[in-house]
Structure 1
């Protein structure tokens, strides 16, 4: 483990102090959080909630090798995790893509750090920036109340701060581990520490957490694009083989070095039993260095001269070979600070208030991309039918593709970028007791959220070094993907990064400067009538936004000018909500509710800004005419609690949407921009549109139970699992000639998802094996049903074990991704048409946990 982490943990272990327990923070759902350190406390949070929610404790998060918040969230009913570069990053709630859900920390809305969200909205929070060691717990709130922001069509993920355990005066937890990643034989390191205490006769409490994770992940990947034109094959070609004619093939080998940090802390001042003031904050994110070696074969459909219908071999006489070397540095940060308080006066009147500032950033200080191309076309044979997941190729004209000296044509650029998304917010609430119902109160309040989004992209062309790829590669060939591919010598990334470049200039077509202000007010009733409690009311939100982007105009001399063009949007929405909770006894809870919500168009969806991927001939642009998506949600659940953290639950939901937003893809023969590698070729234009109405419905079932009724050592066994079924429907395509609509499940709606774990916890020994499954779903909408992109089913198995060495120290081992789960995308739902297939192999970690405090 790095020296700085060991020093940090050693210092933490020397800390001691004593006082009274800290006053807890508050859940997004409006419930006081005692602490969600154990499974029992997480179950109690769900049981006592006024709305439908699920929670996972910090103890449960630590019980599996979930390195970040996204991977911890995947264990919760209704959650489907989307991974990238071998780690969980975004999550979908009840079949809705990440851009339509909300994320908060301690109830304060988080803004996006990574603008590259799966559906392109740029609003989703990337949870891989939050190391699991800094989490006090997580909850997913699935029905909204009027005192909550109305954003969150699928639900709200709320990250809970670490807190001093109930009954303790201090807390001091520490963990350190070292791991192994076998794909490239690299090491990983992990450590975290939480320390807290109260002082000043119980008036002050202070707690802080630090988490560290460093890895050297690697990826074996192969990607491809289809020409989607069977006529590119000679007459008489088998229909299946003709449908699989490639446009290009790209074996890729990636190496990442990620250093992730997370800090969180809070100071509370409680001068009396009825008054409290607090300050809390977080700083979380990572720095990642990526080295990518891609071998690109273009022109595979331009001159197909022969096809063997029996073997599937396709012969091409004018393919182009390219060695592509990419080196990037990315800095992702999430910062939040909040200050507020609460007090009670008069006859039970309660006032609470909060001001907060949060900011997400994604910065690429550099993004070097170089292409070394063989100027001579080659004749080769490829086959993607014998084994579609591992296509093969070889030259037939004597060309040695691993000879670096043949790649003499050079083109390269450096593309730094800066994206930020920040928000200033203020909230004030006043609750006044009323006589209608037990513990009844009318709550009124208001909030202001002022959000600002900035996006800058820059570019500088590399000077042609006048040398072939041989001058920028090392010794030995990169043979990988279980030996399937040899893509030539290893790049010497330091030499590539040292190629002189021209002046850096801003890409004005990608510039964004957006302001989005949301003003809200609400009135809410909460009260009880015997076993029934009610929360209901109405919220009004006014949106005042200005989205600024540059409009490009072509001049007579062939140059372009850019004019900053603002697009203003103002609208007001009314959101009624009501939730019923029925609990006839201590074991049974029934929820029923109706709530409304909004999904504002993503900044990248509504902007007029345009970005161009020069290497792949892709133009991405927003649609300033988009309307926000609104939704009506109907929820019901039955929960039975068996004690000691045990629970069985069943929930159903239905969501109806207006103005649902989907991504669109068009292909055009030409595009008037000289930056494209082939302006007269096939250009892809990615954008967005409203499709009118859509809906999603489904059910969730969950069980968690330790078998305490069994005799002796058998009582340590238990199960924890859940199943989610989701159906959805929307018009994803329109026939350009007839206008006919084609309906399908909504993007990223997996019809079936499940989690199941078997655990053992007794006599100082804990062990767990957990599997997670997500079914096939449509991931990206193409320009037709034939070009829609699907994410194929995936199943992952993880395991962990820990044994107490002393009452305050334990040794643990973890194994992640024992199944070597692949991330696989296909064109159409047919698994025989893969366009991306990558894998990572398992990784392992072992270490020590220390628990002090009293």
Structure 2
């Protein structure tokens, strides 16, 4: 198959060279603001009278080739600035023609900025000029919102929503497609994942290190096809984004109302160009974030069917206090060298270190199923307590992401090549932690009275019970149940090489850019889990408790501060061999280990056709995947871990077509189709088998999973009615095959697609006399056809274009409505995981003179978070976040600002099937950010 792909690419290159080529006269140059220092990306340069146009790139550069001799009027269109034209005569030689537009632009943030208006203009122009369906956040769009993480910034893009962790954006969903099914890149290099999945955490990369973000929703053949929803590309700074030296320092503090601490953050950026041929861009960012959150959770709910059916809590109830210190250190070092008139070379590097130092105190009321023996109804239960746990986890998790890309571009007349070798590495080190649980046992024997559990307010349930609760809150009643230490490391490494070649030509009178390329990706993913569990019930909690309760606690019941993490840390290394739980330690240390090698060879061919007002990009991509997997079969009772291996290979043919039609200069229609393939998540296809004989169940990975495949369709319209505005609408439809869902089966009902050959025969022989017969299998399966469909609206308007009375005011808003359906093996129809049916954003701003003000709101509807059972699936409730920022320019070099996050103190709520049934409730509080920027 590799040979076949090579032949296809070679055939494409021969076709390119055979195309009819006219005279190779060229107009090239740059488009900048009036200062000449700030390049404008996304400007459209057109040659009047003939069907020729080009779009400026990142550095404001453009190139028009194959022009017949003559005299032409060349014009530039850029939303937010008046058009500019120049007359030029082509006489057989290359012509340099530069343009300047608009007013003088000053630097206040990552790139050229005149406040919010410039950010809006930059984003709109890039989206308008693109031949694919994209959304852009210009760098000042990052600076204009109170965003700590990239995920927070992306929440404002049409069709995107985020999952949060401790109030910060972490994972991103595009059009209802969860993070494991979309792709993220840094400067075009696929970002590895430090977790045991494909989804990339976007809370570790500080937004201050970026120059902009692009979300590509329709794929072209020259883009990796490993995404059902789209590709998020994070662009870091380049020295050639500006002319000459640039220095910016940023210093800020963030105050959170729950933690009542100020968290410092600082960024220093430097770039310079030397002799217009060599550029250096450096940026370093540091943040020490201190936050606190208050949480309570319910384990499960059961159904009482005796008289009037209702659900009641029947597992456990937990309260959790989190004290978190997140330290982020980021570094970007980029070097650009214009080695000759025809060749540009670059080295782009990013290093990010994220340390999550977390203390979690958990207080857990166990075995609430005893409520069935008491008095229960839909709002409260009266029963006797059985066990209560007091637990502390002290964890220092270190995550690293590194990308290095070395490459360049070379122009030979009408031919252009680009090439790159890249290295990407991610690591999650979870080896500095301990988790210690103390338990108050056999409560009913010593305290036979009942407690009342009132869950009429499902978000904040309350226990009451007099003397019994006094005993529950006495640390002397708790003895050690387990002390756990974990030493787990996840690593993700990818080496990539790619080569692309393109050629401008004429086919008849139609300008065509032919393009073809090859790419090779070699990825290795490893997970190594090691857990030690110790037991010694002679250790009493009273010796590991200091203060009594958390002050300012927001939930229904008091929250103890014990066990104290500083005191329990002293238990590390004090246990003897006789205290080790060998069976539990062995089982948990071996079952999740795996190593996966994934190699992908891709090739493509495509053409970009300028047919009058129609621009058509069409082609096909081939991807061959070769994967080798290693895991273990773990038997709990025998303390054995047997290596298991699996391999697979497959090839996908992936066509795509993107069309853009300019009805008028202000009205553009778009249509797109592309095929995509997403390989199973690593934790889903790893060939592990856990056999837990105590519970008569097995958990197994499924290395035989098929990759997800999708046919994606888009149709949209864009209208640019005034100088700085856009109104757009679009519909999309995704027909998905082989979607992957978790599933649990009785042993007799396991489908043939799940391979049970790795399970020893004695566990499947139907004879329970050996004490190990498996009754239940939990695994991952492919389901049949699934569908996602939706509609998007977007509106951006400079209100000053409508009336001079509103000069300086900016309005933006977007709405996405989606629907999805997948059918599980039991016949149940469910929506896609993590898909919100409604997402909207709205922002109003004022940008004039020294002031830049903005208020924004972001809404994300509820979504399916986890499959449990009919009427009991875990759902995430809808959420609206309100934020604001005020910036004041003291002079051309100094700006101060004040920002507010989560101004309405919005919590996050998860529930089981119905909002009356608590799963998880978190409060994070409001955060106020204050700071200053100094720019030269």
Fold conserved between structures, TM > 0.5 = yes
Report deviation, 1:641.
2.5
Q: Is the 8 A contact 1:380 1:396 kept in 2?
A: no
Change over 3 Å in CA distance of 1:24–1:454 after alignment to 2: farther
Say which is worse superposed, 434-443 or 449-458, in terms of deviation: 434-443
Provide the C-alpha distance between the structure 1 equivalents of 2:727 and 2:248, rounded to a whole number of angstroms: 31
1:430 aligns with 2:507: no
Q: Is the 8 A contact 2:294 2:555 kept in 1?
A: no
Q: Is the 8 A contact 2:602 2:622 kept in 1?
A: yes
1:105-152 deviation digits (Å, cap 9, x = unpaired)? 11111111233xxxxxx1011000111111111011001111111111
Change over 3 Å in CA distance of 1:394–1:167 after alignment to 2: closer
The DSSP-based 3-state class of the residue aligned with 1:601 is coil
1:194 aligns with 2:269: yes
Pairs within 5 Å for 1:56-205: 56-115=137-196, 122-164=197-239, 168-199=243-274, 201-205=275-279
Q: Is the 8 A contact 1:176 1:192 kept in 2?
A: yes
The DSSP-based 3-state class of the residue aligned with 1:633 is strand
Q: Is the 8 A contact 1:368 1:497 kept in 2?
A: yes
If you compute each CA radius of gyration, which structure gives the higher value, 1 or 2? 2
The DSSP-based 3-state class of the residue aligned with 1:301 is helix
- 1:32 pairs with one of 49, 57, 78: 57
The DSSP-based 3-state class of the residue aligned with 2:603 is strand
Q: Which residue of 2 aligns with 1:781?
A: 867
Q: Which residue of 2 aligns with 1:381?
A: 451
1:442 aligns with 2:523: no
Provide the C-alpha distance between the structure 1 equivalents of 2:684 and 2:38, rounded to a whole number of angstroms: 43
Provide the C-alpha distance between the structure 2 equivalents of 1:705 and 1:513, rounded to a whole number of angstroms: 51
Q: Which residue of 1 aligns with 2:391?
A: 324
- 1:342 pairs with one of 392, 403, 409: 409
Q: Is the 8 A contact 1:224 1:835 kept in 2?
A: yes
The DSSP-based 3-state class of the residue aligned with 1:271 is coil
Q: Which residue of 1 aligns with 2:916?
A: 832
Report deviation, 1:273.
3.2
Q: Which residue of 2 aligns with 1:252?
A: 320
Pairs within 5 Å for 1:184-583: 184-199=259-274, 201-230=275-304, 236=307, 238-240=308-310, 243-302=311-370, 304-307=372-375, 309=377, 312-345=379-412, 347-378=413-444, 379-395=449-465, 398-400=468-470, 401-436=472-507, 438-462=510-534, 464=536, 466-478=538-550, 481-482=553-554, 484-501=556-573, 507-553=589-635, 558-583=637-662
Say which is worse superposed, 497-506 or 252-261, in terms of deviation: 497-506
Q: Which residue of 2 aligns with 1:813?
A: 898
Provide the C-alpha distance between the structure 1 equivalents of 2:328 and 2:791, rounded to a whole number of angstroms: 36
1:684-721 deviation digits (Å, cap 9, x = unpaired)? 97532111110101111111112123666731111111
The DSSP-based 3-state class of the residue aligned with 1:470 is helix
Q: Is the 8 A contact 1:103 1:158 kept in 2?
A: yes
- 1:592 pairs with one of 671, 688, 695: 671
Change over 3 Å in CA distance of 1:620–1:362 after alignment to 2: farther
Q: Which residue of 1 aligns with 2:849?
A: 763
Pairs within 5 Å for 1:723-738: 723-732=815-824, 734-735=825-826
- 1:842 pairs with one of 926, 929, 934: 926
1:82-121 deviation digits (Å, cap 9, x = unpaired)? 1112110001101111100011111111111233xxxxxx
Provide the C-alpha distance between the structure 2 equivalents of 1:266 and 1:24, rounded to a whole number of angstroms: 20
Provide the C-alpha distance between the structure 2 equivalents of 1:165 and 1:350, rounded to a whole number of angstroms: 20
Provide the C-alpha distance between the structure 1 equivalents of 2:808 and 2:690, rounded to a whole number of angstroms: 56
Change over 3 Å in CA distance of 1:391–1:614 after alignment to 2: farther
Provide the C-alpha distance between the structure 1 equivalents of 2:382 and 2:455, rounded to a whole number of angstroms: 14
Q: Which residue of 2 aligns with 1:631?
A: 710
1:378-432 deviation digits (Å, cap 9, x = unpaired)? 4543434421111111336635211100002431110121001111001101112
The DSSP-based 3-state class of the residue aligned with 2:302 is coil
Report deviation, 1:229.
4.1
Q: Which residue of 1 aligns with 2:753?
A: none
Report deviation, 1:183.
0.5
Change over 3 Å in CA distance of 1:181–1:820 after alignment to 2: same
Q: Structure 1: where are the runs of 5+ without partners?
A: 1-18, 116-121, 673-678, 736-740
Report deviation, 1:230.
2.0
Q: Is the 8 A contact 1:86 1:217 kept in 2?
A: no
1:328-379 deviation digits (Å, cap 9, x = unpaired)? 000011100000011111x411111001000111111223111100122245
1:449-470 deviation digits (Å, cap 9, x = unpaired)? 0000010011123463733111
Provide the C-alpha distance between the structure 2 equivalents of 1:20 and 1:803, rounded to a whole number of angstroms: 25
Q: Is the 8 A contact 1:479 1:486 kept in 2?
A: no
The DSSP-based 3-state class of the residue aligned with 2:925 is coil
Change over 3 Å in CA distance of 1:724–1:31 after alignment to 2: farther
Provide the C-alpha distance between the structure 2 equivalents of 1:686 and 1:34, rounded to a whole number of angstroms: 53
Change over 3 Å in CA distance of 1:313–1:352 after alignment to 2: closer
Change over 3 Å in CA distance of 1:214–1:667 after alignment to 2: farther
1:255-314 deviation digits (Å, cap 9, x = unpaired)? 1100012211211110233210110010123101110000111111135333264x8431
Change over 3 Å in CA distance of 1:332–1:614 after alignment to 2: farther
Q: Which residue of 2 aligns with 1:4?
A: none
Change over 3 Å in CA distance of 1:685–1:820 after alignment to 2: farther
Change over 3 Å in CA distance of 1:57–1:686 after alignment to 2: farther
Say which is worse superposed, 389-398 or 525-534, in terms of deviation: 389-398
Say which is worse superposed, 298-307 or 350-359, in terms of deviation: 298-307
**TM-score for both structures, normalised by structure 2:** 0.81
Report deviation, 1:159.
0.5
- 1:655 pairs with one of 723, 734, 744: 734
**TM-score for both structures, normalised by structure 1:** 0.88
Change over 3 Å in CA distance of 1:363–1:101 after alignment to 2: same
Report deviation, 1:805.
1.0
Q: Is the 8 A contact 2:631 2:644 kept in 1?
A: yes
The DSSP-based 3-state class of the residue aligned with 1:67 is coil
Report deviation, 1:621.
4.2
Report deviation, 1:664.
2.7
Change over 3 Å in CA distance of 1:158–1:683 after alignment to 2: farther
Change over 3 Å in CA distance of 1:552–1:225 after alignment to 2: closer
Change over 3 Å in CA distance of 1:779–1:303 after alignment to 2: closer
